[in-house]
Each structure stands twice: as structure tokens, then as C-alpha cells.
Amino acid sequence: MRRIRGRDANMRFLFGSVFFFFIIIVVIGLFSYFALEQYMSNPEAAKKAAVVAKPHYDYSVRFDKGFEGQSFVLYLNDSLLYAGSPVDVDTVIRANRLAAENSLLVVDKNSDIIVSIIELGKRGDVLLKYNNGAVSSHIKE
């Protein structure tokens, strides 16, 4: 029986690893080719599948005159949209989300108290109104 020395063992391990790596790359290439082949042959079906896979939700948030001088923080789900006081009535904040259920949180910046939670649909223009310390909303879809 032939005894394998350290150098020979390392070379066998190296060639085996390279061969295994090459086989894995070939298998990944084949799977990628077969997965993308259906989209290359029928691009219209690919566009329809992409639209179904990524629903798009558009929102724009506007402020009324009552917000002048007030300081608020707006969150869309867990994302900070705006912090500070609106520059003027024409301030518009636009947001795009992929989540199916979205909520707009209005937080008073001075006291860190949630003033309003607004449930949003798929898209819409949200008009925030400030009256006597309370925030109300009007959503136009």
C-alpha cells in the first residue's frame, strides 16, 4: 500500500476542490439558463409577471395652513418621511412603498406623542389638517 505524503495529499485536495467548484458553477449556470429562457422567449409574459410580483403604492402628503409654526415628524410604516415644520402649504412629500398595508404616523416633535395614525390604501393624496392640537386627514384616492 502506497503511503500519501503531505504534499501529495494537499495536491489531491486542491484538485478535488477545483473540480467540485467547477461542477457547482456548471449547475448554477444551467439553472440560470433554464430559468431565464422562458422570459427571453416571451417578454410580454415576463412584464406581466414583474408587475404582479411588485405591487406599487404611491402616496403624496400635503399640509394645510394650520401646520405653520408647528413641528411634526411623519413616518410611513417604519420609515422616516419628514421631520420639522412644513415650509409652506405647498409642501408635498411623495413616497413609494412595496408593503401591502401602510400607515402614516404623525408624531408631535416636541412631546414625542403620536398625534394621528392614518391607514392608507394602495395610493392616494393625503391632506393633513391641524386643528386645536389634533391632526385630521382627508385621503383622496
pLDDT in tens, 74-113: 888 878 888 877 666 667 777 776 666 778 888 888 777 7
**The cell 384616492 sits on which residue?**
141
Rounded to the nearest 10°, the torsion over CA 88, 83, 79, 74 is -60
What confidence score (pLDDT) does residue 26 get?
Answer: 97
What confidence score (pLDDT) does residue 128 get?
Answer: 82
pLDDT exceeding 70 applies to what percent of the chain? 81
Residue 31 sits in the same domain as residue 64: no
Residue 60 near residue 126 (C-beta atoms within 8 A): yes
Residue 82 sits in the same domain as residue 40: no
Is pLDDT above 60 for 1?
no
The verdict on residue 82 lying in a domain is yes
The verdict on residue 119 lying in a domain is yes
Cβ within 8 Å of residue 69, ≥6 positions away = 85
pTM: 0.54
Q: Which residue has the higher pLDDT, 78 or 23?
A: 23
Q: Into how many domains does the chain fold?
A: 2
Q: Which residue has the higher pLDDT, 13 or 39?
A: 13
- The predicted model gives 104-132 an average pLDDT of 79
Q: Which domain holds residue 67?
A: 57-140
pLDDT exceeding 90 applies to what percent of the chain? 15
Is pLDDT above 80 for 47?
no
Count CB atoms within 10 A of the CB of residue 116.
18
Q: Which residue has the higher pLDDT, 32 or 131?
A: 32
Residue 128 sits in the same domain as residue 66: yes
The CA distances from residue 14 to 9, 10, 19, 114, 141, in Å, are 9, 6, 9, 61, 63
Is pLDDT above 60 for 38?
yes
Q: What is the pLDDT of residues 50-73, one digit of tens each?
A: 666 555 667 778 888 877 777 888
What confidence score (pLDDT) does residue 25 get?
Answer: 97
Residue 67 sits in the same domain as residue 130: yes
